[in-house]
A and B are shown apart, each in its own frame.
Chain A
Amino acid sequence: MFMTSRRARMAIGVAAVAAMAVAGCSSKSKTSAPASSSPAGSSSPAASASGSASAAWDCGDNGQKITLKIGLFGNFAYKTAGLYDKYQQLCPNITIQEDDIEQSGDYWNKLKTNLAAGSGLDDIQAIEVGFVAQVTANYADKFVDFNTVPNAAQIKSTFYPWKWQMATSTDGKTVGLGTDAGPEAMCFRQDLLKAAGLPNDRNTLAQQWSTWDGFINFGKQYKQKTGKAFIDSVNSIFNAAVYQGNEAYDNAQGKPDVENSDGVKKAWQLAVQAAQAGITAKINQWTKDWNQSFASGTFATISCPAWMLAYITSQAGDAGKGKWDVTSLPGGAANWGGSWLGVPKGGPHEKAAIALATWLTAPAQQLTMWTSQHFWPSSQAAAQDPSVKTATSDYFNNAPIGEIFGNSAANLKMPPIGPYDTDIQTALDTELGNVEQQGKNPQQAWNDALAKIKQVTGS
């Protein structure tokens, strides 16, 4: 649903399992509870607007009992947030069955095989930002075009234009409706910074960390004073900074263009700088060691898209409450991740599936997902809701998360995306990991990464 890195997405699966384990264990169930103190979405204008619309909601079931299968990966948390129950109250004839694959890499492998074979597809299939460009380029004809559904214009108007655009093919077919988006911020352990005798106030830090250079210099001080790692991984820097350029992995035509990308060049150089300064914890993201480090304080900072707040909360647990804090991302706004819900054409329950996908991504439900999981709405109608804007998080030391992520979302650059982004990013991340963990020569690592990317793109 959200991340572009392959490893990242696997780990969300792990997170999903962890979340389930946590949910099943009553003594720990608080850790998966919403950390936001924002008011419930029900009183908000956006919610009530579509609340009144729901009075005449067309379930698309033609009065028959239907089971809708929804193919997801990782942790969409619709069930946790109670949305399925709510929909089944709205549409008593509909039973929703989740078909979830932990790792979104595996999910995509299965989905593209099914699309190629034209069988085995669910009524709704989630699409992630890592492969949405492959879907629009190759399979736009196999999905319902949301420009042609009833109320298309009204539905379209609720989303951020760039969210709609990313799921739209060159000939104008929109293959999915946006779920969440991933505006990024910087999460930090305010208690560790304080213990190191460094500023720990989020406004002061926002200034000192306004550039990545400032951030890395600050990290060197932290390392000097404590002897400990400042940030979790080079990937934390690279994956954020790469989306701050005009280009990330592709040129404006959506063709891979790593060597000439300003985003990649800058991000690579910053990541290498951090690796060589020794301020990273040398942990691969989404590994067991990484998960355990949220609680143990192995590192003090990590760049965090909105959806990662729930992840940090579940990994750091009750003991981490008030220790973590959030400030804006160095170097400007960036987006990491985001998903869509698509409806394969010609399914037995196409109409009901369109209705469900529309409902799940409608502003009111996006608000619920924000309140419950901190998934940032890709619906601008929901994002502008006061309950989002004024949200603070008591888990994250009362940080004004609505304002911080809202600023990031408002200032996002959306570099062009392409079909190979996930695998290109994995190749670069992996080689940066080698520089960081094995002291590999950066030039050698860069050449090896390019060789790997050639394997991916085949050119």
Chain B
Amino acid sequence: MTAVREAHAGVLAGTVGHPRKRRPRYALIGSKAAYLYVAPFFVVFAIFGLYPLLYTGWISLHDVSLLNINKMTWVGFHNYTSLWTNHFFLNALTNTITIGIISAVPQLLMALGIAHLLNYRMKGSIAFRIAMLMPYATSVVATTLIFGELYSRDFGFVNWFLHFFGVEPINWVNAPKWQSQLAVASIVIWRWTGYNALIYLAGMQAIPHELYEAAAIDGANRWQQFRKITIPSLRPTILFTVVVSTIGSMQMFAEPYLFGSGTNGGGNGQYQTLTLYLYQQGWQYNHLGFAAAVAWTMLVVCLVLVIINAMLTNARGRRG
């Protein structure tokens, strides 16, 4: 999740507000040297990216135990077809999507609002921006353990606060589905809101100031400026954050794993995400072939989401 976001953050700055160059003019000069320059990346990628990817695909067509990886039995696409009738897998898939939505939507909305506020000239704006990034800089393990304390049934702050409203203590780690998922989502929200706010802020600062001045002269108030100028100008940035958050939630592991102390994701699997399920199947239950099939299915789901996003971006580009 982190790596993906960071990799895209740099790209992002270039995409906002600047017309993209179609093709570098000097493409033909020293093209062989260029291949040489990029070769290290592709060599490393082939070893640590492509080979594991293909090998995972190969394993996924076999029945193979982690305890004896040399003994592989060919089963064709059985691992894949069995996924669609496996209610543990379907549960994990649904959880991944719902936790993704209830963490990403509030997160991005709040980030937008915060970025808008931080975009005003004010004293100590650097301090605020650093503060925004603090949760992102905090280790996810530390964050989750502390949230675990907050959500403790008998001694936690959340239940203590809720009891003023007459709410009975909630056992968050094994509560009805939406409650437990909310607790897990809150960890993600806390951690990523500031990061997204900074991305938005960077985007906002690339919006030409004249637009706002012109709008102000035409009598548009702050809210109208936000809606009619900021949001449309930020659209590529927003799409970027949506995609990255989507990929992030597809890969969500540490938060539910630590929150529920294990791969079960709650007594009834209320927040067992796909990665937890994959890990449980592969490394705890030793069903390596099946886990590989889960991994490839996740990749496909991820690709589908990225393609949908690319289509959205293109559609907008053509309109513009």
Within 8 A of A (CB), among B270-288: 281, 283-287
Asked whether A288 is an interface residue with its Cβ less than 8 Å from the other chain, the reply is yes
Please, which residues of chain B bring their CB within 8 A of the CB of A289? 152-155
Within 8 A of B (CB), among A256-305: 282-284, 286-289, 292-293, 298
Contact A6 B153 (CB under 8 A): no
Contact A7 B261 (CB under 8 A): yes
CA separation between A282 and B171, bound complex, in Å?
A: 9
Please, which residues of chain A bring their CB within 8 A of the CB of B267? 430-431, 433-434, 437-438
Asked whether B67 is an interface residue with its Cβ less than 8 Å from the other chain, the reply is yes
Please, which residues of chain A bring their CB within 8 A of the CB of B88? 452, 455
Name the residue of chain A whose CB is nearest to the CB of B68: A138
Name the residue of chain B whose CB is nearest to the CB of A457: B285
Name the residue of chain B whose CB is nearest to the CB of A298: B154
Please, which residues of chain B bring their CB within 8 A of the CB of A149? none
Contact A423 B285 (CB under 8 A): yes
CA separation between A438 and B174, bound complex, in Å?
A: 8
Asked whether B148 is an interface residue with its Cβ less than 8 Å from the other chain, the reply is yes
Asked whether A29 is an interface residue with its Cβ less than 8 Å from the other chain, the reply is no
Given known contacts A433-B267, A438-B267, A456-B285, A7 and B155 CB-to-CB distance under 8 angstroms: no
Please, which residues of chain B bring their CB within 8 A of the CB of A109? 283-284
Interface range on chain B: under 10, 10 to 19, 20 to 34, or 35 or more? Answer: 20 to 34
Asked whether B149 is an interface residue with its Cβ less than 8 Å from the other chain, the reply is yes
Binary interface encoding of chain A residues 417-439 relative to chain B, with 1 for a CB under 8 A from any of its CBs, else 0? 00000010010001101100110
Name the residue of chain B whose CB is nearest to the CB of A6: B262
CA separation between A113 and B66, bound complex, in Å?
A: 7
Contact A105 B149 (CB under 8 A): no
Name the residue of chain B whose CB is nearest to the CB of A289: B154
Q: Which of A105, A116, A284, A292 contacts B155 (CB 8 A)?
A: A292
CA separation between A426 and B265, bound complex, in Å?
A: 12
Name the residue of chain B whose CB is nearest to the CB of A448: B268
Q: Which of B69, B152, B262, B283 contacts A288 (CB 8 A)?
A: B152
Instruction: With both chains docked as a complex, state the minimum distance between the C-beta of B89 and any C-beta of chain A, in angstroms.
Output: 10
Q: Is the interface of B mostly helix, strand, loop or mixed?
A: loop
Please, which residues of chain B bring their CB within 8 A of the CB of A105? 262, 284
Please, which residues of chain A bring their CB within 8 A of the CB of B285? 423, 455-456, 458
Asked whether A134 is an interface residue with its Cβ less than 8 Å from the other chain, the reply is yes
Contact B155 A134 (CB under 8 A): no
Within 8 A of B (CB), among A369-412: none
Q: Which of B67, B153, B173, B283 contacts A138 (CB 8 A)?
A: B67
Q: Is the interface of A mostly helix, strand, loop or mixed?
A: helix
Binary interface encoding of chain A residues 149-178 relative to chain B, with 1 for a CB under 8 A from any of its CBs, else 0? 000000000000000000000000000000
Name the residue of chain B whose CB is nearest to the CB of A281: B154
Given known contacts A282-B171, A289-B152, A116 and B67 CB-to-CB distance under 8 angstroms: yes
CA separation between A6 and B280, bound complex, in Å?
A: 12
Asked whether B233 is an interface residue with its Cβ less than 8 Å from the other chain, the reply is no
Name the residue of chain B whose CB is nearest to the CB of A427: B264
Asked whether A240 is an interface residue with its Cβ less than 8 Å from the other chain, the reply is no
Q: Which of A6, A112, A287, A437 contacts B67 (CB 8 A)?
A: A112
Q: Which of B153, B262, B287 contacts A10 (CB 8 A)?
A: B262
Name the residue of chain B whose CB is nearest to the CB of A433: B267
CA separation between A283 and B173, bound complex, in Å?
A: 11
Please, which residues of chain A bring their CB within 8 A of the CB of B154? 283, 289, 292-293, 298
Please, which residues of chain A bring their CB within 8 A of the CB of B66? 112-113, 116
CA separation between A423 and B88, bound complex, in Å?
A: 16
CA separation between A438 and B177, bound complex, in Å?
A: 12
Name the residue of chain A whose CB is nearest to the CB of B149: A288
Given known contacts A116-B69, A437-B171, A455-B88, A288 and B155 CB-to-CB distance under 8 angstroms: yes
CA separation between A426 and B280, bound complex, in Å?
A: 12
Contact A284 B173 (CB under 8 A): yes
Binary interface encoding of chain A residues 102-117 relative to chain B, with 1 for a CB under 8 A from any of its CBs, else 0? 0001000100110010
Instruction: With both chains docked as a complex, state the minimum distance between the C-beta of A133 and any C-beta of chain B, in angstroms.
Output: 11
- Residue of B171, B262, B267, B287 ringed by the most chain A CB atoms within 10 A: B267
Contact B174 A288 (CB under 8 A): no
CA separation between A69 and B173, bound complex, in Å?
A: 37
Please, which residues of chain A bring their CB within 8 A of the CB of B173? 284, 287
Within 8 A of A (CB), among B27-78: 66-69
Q: Which of A287, A431, A434, A448 contacts B261 (CB 8 A)?
A: A287
Name the residue of chain A whose CB is nearest to the CB of B145: A288
CA separation between A3 and B246, bound complex, in Å?
A: 39
CA separation between A195 and B149, bound complex, in Å?
A: 31
Instruction: With both chains docked as a complex, state the minimum distance between the C-beta of B292 and any C-beta of chain A, in angstroms.
Output: 15
Can you report 24 residue pairs joining A to B where beta carbons are below 8 Å apart?
A: A6-B262, A7-B261, A11-B261, A105-B262, A105-B284, A109-B284, A112-B286, A116-B66, A134-B67, A284-B173, A288-B152, A289-B152, A423-B284, A426-B264, A430-B264, A433-B174, A433-B267, A434-B267, A438-B267, A448-B268, A452-B88, A455-B88, A456-B285, A458-B285
Q: Which 10 A-B pairs have the closest CB atoms?
A: A434-B267, A138-B67, A109-B283, A289-B154, A430-B267, A116-B69, A288-B152, A433-B267, A456-B285, A289-B153
Binding site for B on A (CB under 8 A): 6-7, 10-11, 105, 109, 112-113, 116, 134, 138-139, 282-284, 286-289, 292-293, 298, 423, 426, 430-431, 433-434, 437-438, 448, 452, 455-456, 458
Given contacts A113-B283, A289-B152, 7 further A-B contacts (CB under 8 A): A112-B67, A283-B153, A289-B153, A430-B264, A430-B267, A434-B174, A437-B174
